[in-house]
Amino acid sequence: MLATAEALATLLSAASPIAGTESIPTLEALNRVLAADVTSPLDVPPMNTSSMDGYAIRTADLTVQGNVRLPVSQRIPAGHAPEPLKPGTAARIFTGATVPPGADAIVMQEQTEAAGAEVTILHSPQAGEWITAQGADIRSGSVILPAGTRLTPQALGLAASVGCAELVVRRRVKVAVFFTGDELTMPGEPLKPGAIYNSNRFTLRGLLEKLGCEVTDYGIVVDKLDATRATLREAAEAHDLILTCGGVSVGEEDHVKPAVEAEGRLAMWQIAMKPGKPLAFGAVRRAAQRGEAAESASASALASDSAETFFIGLPGNPVSSFATFLLFVRPFILSLAGVQTVAPRALSLRADFTQSKADRRNEFLRARINPAGGLDLFPNQSSAVLTSTVWGDGLIDNPPNHAISAGETVRFIPFSELLN
């Protein structure tokens, strides 16, 4: 079995950004990945602006001691071009408005007294006070969003602030997904003896869609080798990744592993983690390559070009499939999409529990943050207890052979990071 770090490195070393870009409206680019740098064509702000409602003045006009009364020569709302400020006068100005040429400070209105067409300045400002200088936020020609950025709402706002109506993004990662197990039943159908509802289909579809993938769902495939091979062949033709759930163990009814080996190759299929030991990674040959012997089963031989489609097989237990997706499939898909930083940020938090029994594998324990800022552990860490994934705030990354004592600091990965 591979250690989790080694397994993740194996996946990421095989993933390179997919080919294909498109230009789309900035308003429709949420969660897409930039394929090209966004460079600002202008300064932001494009002129000196007022940070306050008040009066624009020349500091040279306030050389006398005490309060100074000045005539108000103009009124400047935001969005209007001002006239140059006449010496010895003030200009009524509003937040965001352009500072008139000649003015070098703003006195906020709370430090003035207005009377008719004049204003008394009650404060002696420094030059530049309450003025946001041209280019204070962004300089023309600077890269404001590098290629590989996954576009958040604030990133879209930043692109719009420099006038970008369209953005060049990578195409969506195309993922085919199917589920194996004759015991699986869809909600709404009668639940026969020995059957269970297929929760994994809903969880994994949701996770894939949250990552912005273009998903083809082949549904539940019967537990037969021929049927599994046929679905793999079909899915390989027009997708970047085939994702399966169930059937990757070594039982007689687990057909995914031998099917992939017949239709392509496997680079790994077991990880020293709990939950989620059975996790398979490899590739399925496309039509042009069928019948040719695989030259190597190593990860370095896996191609992302038209010769084959990547394959990841997840375990069937619901928490195992959820955890392995977050820890391995998520960064792999983000890497295919061209995202530069795929590692989730972890927190160092206090364990407010004791777990005296250590496991030889790397454990990922469901926990949540309590009001005191420590971590509480879900009492049942079984890989079948999906309740824990809703109750919890994230996963404790507990090293192999390590018992946890109350009060010690542990590594905690929030779901907010893993679901991003």
Interatomic CA distance for residues 164 and 44, integer angstroms: 13
SS3 301: helix
**Omega before residue 45 within 30° of 0, cis:** yes
Closest CA to 50 of 121, 127, 105: 105
Give how far Cα 63 sits from Cα of 53, 58, 68, 85, Å. 23, 10, 9, 17
Interatomic CA distance for residues 319 and 315, integer angstroms: 9
Structure confidence at residue 294 (pLDDT): 42
Structure confidence at residue 249 (pLDDT): 61
Structure confidence at residue 181 (pLDDT): 82
Say whether 347-418 and 49-132 share the same fold. Answer: no
The answer for 381, left when phi > 0, alpha when psi is -120 to 50, beta otherwise, is alpha
Structure confidence at residue 295 (pLDDT): 43
**Omega before residue 125 within 30° of 0, cis:** no
Interatomic CA distance for residues 203 and 368, integer angstroms: 20
Tokens, residue 123: 């404060």
Interatomic CA distance for residues 270 and 249, integer angstroms: 9
CATH fold label, 31-43+138-170: Molybdopterin biosynthesis moea protein, domain 2 (3.90.105)
Task: Return the half-sphere exposure (C-beta side, CA atoms, 13 A cut-off) of residue 124.
Answer: 9
The answer for 188, left when phi > 0, alpha when psi is -120 to 50, beta otherwise, is left
Pairing of strands 112-115, 118-121: antiparallel
SS3 373: coil
**Sole residue written with tokens 């006239």:** 83
The ranges assigned to domains in the chain are 4-19+171-336, 31-43+138-170, 49-132, 347-418
Contact 167, 24 (CB under 8 A): yes
SS3 332: helix
SS3 297: coil
**Sole residue written with tokens 């003030």:** 90
Residue 232 makes CB contacts below 8 A (sequence gap 6+) with 242, 259, 260, 263, 264, 284, 311
Torsion of Cα atoms, 190 then 256 then 175 then 232, to 10°: -100
This prediction has a pTM of 0.87
* CATH architecture for segment(s) 49-132: Beta Complex (2.170)
SS3 418: helix
* CATH architecture for segment(s) 4-19+171-336: 3-Layer(aba) Sandwich (3.40)
Pairing of strands 54-57, 90-93: antiparallel
Tokens, residue 111: 């430090």
* CATH architecture for segment(s) 347-418: Beta Barrel (2.40)
Structure confidence at residue 298 (pLDDT): 42
Which residues are registered as beta bridge partners of 76?
93
Interatomic CA distance for residues 19 and 173, integer angstroms: 10
Q: What is the pLDDT along the chain (420 residues), one digit of tens a residue?
A: 899 999 999 999 999 999 999 999 999 999 999 999 999 999 999 999 999 999 999 999 998 777 999 999 999 999 999 999 999 999 999 999 999 999 999 999 999 999 999 999 999 999 999 999 999 999 999 999 999 999 999 999 999 999 999 999 999 999 999 999 888 888 999 988 989 999 999 999 999 999 999 999 999 998 889 999 999 999 999 999 999 998 766 554 578 889 999 999 998 888 999 999 889 999 999 986 655 444 443 443 444 456 899 999 999 999 999 999 999 999 999 999 999 999 999 999 999 999 999 999 999 999 999 999 999 999 999 999 999 999 999 999 999 999 999 999 999 999 999 998
